[in-house]
Amino acid sequence: MAKAKGKSVELIALQCTVCNRKNYTTKKNRRNTQSKLEFKKYCAFDRTHTLHREAKVK
């Protein structure tokens, strides 16, 4: 099997836009998706579905 030349898949966090907490983590392929990801996910702290945007994992 051939190895990939660069690290194209990386781990990202999804941060709530209302409370600014990082609730979810996921993987993202940088080659296929260069823009920031945005999902409407459930925030347990606000107890509602809010917009979550991509953020760096510490």
Nearest CA-CA partner of 30 in 53, 49, 54, 47: 54
What is this structure's pTM? Answer: 0.81
Q: What is the pLDDT of residue 31?
A: 92
pLDDT along the chain (58 residues), means of 10: 74 97 96 95 97 95
Rounded-to-integer distance, Cα 26 and Cα 7, Å: 15
Q: What is the pLDDT of residue 7?
A: 76
Other Cβ atoms less than 10 A from the Cβ of 52: the count is 24
Q: What is the pLDDT of residue 3?
A: 66
Domains and CATH numbers, the chain: 9-55 (2.20.28.120)
